[in-house]
Amino acid sequence: MSTSLTTCEWKKVFYEKMEVAKPADSWELIIDPNLKLHELAPGWKQYVEQHASGRFHCSWCWHTWQSAHVVILFHMHLDRARRLGSVRMRVFKQLCYECGTARLDESSMLEENIESLVDNLITSLREQCYGEDGGQYRIHVASRPDSGPHRGEFCEACQEGIEHWKPGEKLLEEEATYTPGASKTRAQEGSGYNFFSLRWCLFWASLCLLVVYLQLSFRGSAFL
């Protein structure tokens, strides 16, 4: 089985950043498709990315889709005496909703997305394995607008009971960060500058009719 390009990129970014964050320790990153949530060996810690952004490509019908709700599970362990650390990682897959095949497909991610996710992993790793203040977590790439609602019946993480997309909580979070000024600005942007809206179409149609009426009136008066 060949190693995917995304897997190589994950390892490359992780090793480079850990060399800077913890140069005295040696860390390894292992892809483990059998990793389970909350099933930890003694001494191991867990970190979950619940809203990563990835693109999927169906190997059967060639359909591609974007998801902002990719779940990534990490198990971490540090042997302080030997100064050796290990991270096991699982990226949960999704089913193609176009052809309905039972084949789970892996996601691919941009390098900039992987770098942000690795930064969050290292932040959690420093907090849980070293007892340090890891700093601020980077904003998830998945905070960008998604192409549609998450369909849990096609998500491997949802099928294993990992509740990572809750519309009710999402709406409450948006309401908690609500500011009247920002809402007013968004409303103005949505209605005042959309020249293809119904209001603007009626305006331009009325203007065209007025111009035609004036031209006909002018021509009529010229013949008198």
Whole-number pLDDT of residue 172:
37
pLDDT in tens, 128-155: 999 999 888 876 544 444 556 788 888 9
For residue 184, pLDDT beyond 60: no
For residue 87, pLDDT beyond 90: yes
pLDDT in tens, 18-42: 999 999 999 999 999 999 999 999 9
Average pLDDT of the segment spanning 32-53: 95
Strongest mean pLDDT among 13-27, 58-72, 86-100, 109-123: 13-27
**224: confidence class by pLDDT, cuts 50, 70, 90:** low
Whole-model pTM above 0.85? no
Average pLDDT over the chain, rounded to an integer: 79
Q: How far apart are CA 119 and CA 124, in angstroms?
A: 9
Region for 147 from its dihedrals, namely left if φ exceeds 0, alpha if ψ lies in -120 to 50, beta otherwise: alpha
Q: Who contacts 116 (Cβ-Cβ below 8 Å, separation ≥6)?
A: 138, 139, 140, 141
Between 169 and 102, name the one with better pLDDT: 102
Tokens representing 197?
Answer: 């809206």
For residue 86, pLDDT beyond 90: yes
For residue 183, pLDDT beyond 70: no
Average pLDDT of the segment spanning 54-65: 88
CB 154 within 8 A of CB 95: yes
pLDDT in tens, 66-78: 888 899 999 999 9
Whole-number pLDDT of residue 175:
36
